[in-house]
Structure 1
C-alpha cells in the first residue's frame, strides 16, 4: 500500500475516533444522578449542603453531605455559575454526580463533580 493511500485513510480513522468519543460523552451526560433530592441544610463551616437523598422509586435513602470539588460544574436554574454553595439553596431540589468515594460518616459525605439545582 502506497503512502498516499495510507494518508487518505487517516481522515476516516480520525472521524471514527471522534464519533466514538462523542457518543461516550453523551452517555455520561444521560446517566441518572446518583444523589437526588431536596437540600435541607447548609453547613457554613465546611461549605456543604445536606441533601435528603431519594431513590428512583421516591423512597428516601437518607441524608448525605455534599461539598463541591474544585473543578465541579454547578448549574443553578439552567445557568452555569462559579458561586460557592450557600444557605439560599436550602429547600431547592438538586441532582448530584459525585466522585468515586463516599466517606462512611454519619451522615455520609462526598464531593460533587456536577450539581444541578432547580
Structure 2
C-alpha cells in the first residue's frame, strides 16, 4: 500500500497542535501510519545494505582490474623494448638467416619471461 508522506506529515503536525506531543500516543490512534513508515524504513535499510555491498564489490573489482592493467602495461612496455632491440640489432648482422634465428630465440625468451607457462594454462 502506498501512502502520501506529505499527508501523513500534515496529520502528525495537526495532532501535535491538538496536544499529542508524544509520538507513541499518536501512533496508538493511527497505527497504520507508523506501521507503514516502519516497513518503508526496513525496506529502504535493506536496499541500502545491498547497494553498499554492490559498491564494495565493485570497488574491489576496480582494484583488481587496476593491478591487472598495470601488469599488462608493464608487459607491453617490455615487449615494445624487445621489438625495438630486434629492429636495431637485425641490420647489423651480415647473415640475415643467423640474425633471424637469434631474434626469434630472443623474442621467445622474452615471451617466456613475461608470460610463464603457468599463466597460460
Greater helix fraction, Structure 1 or Structure 2:
2
If the length of structure 1 is used for normalisation, what is the TM-score? 0.31
Which of the two has higher C-alpha Rg? 2
Greater strand fraction, Structure 1 or Structure 2:
1
Q: Which has the higher contact order (CA 8 A, sep 6+)?
A: 1
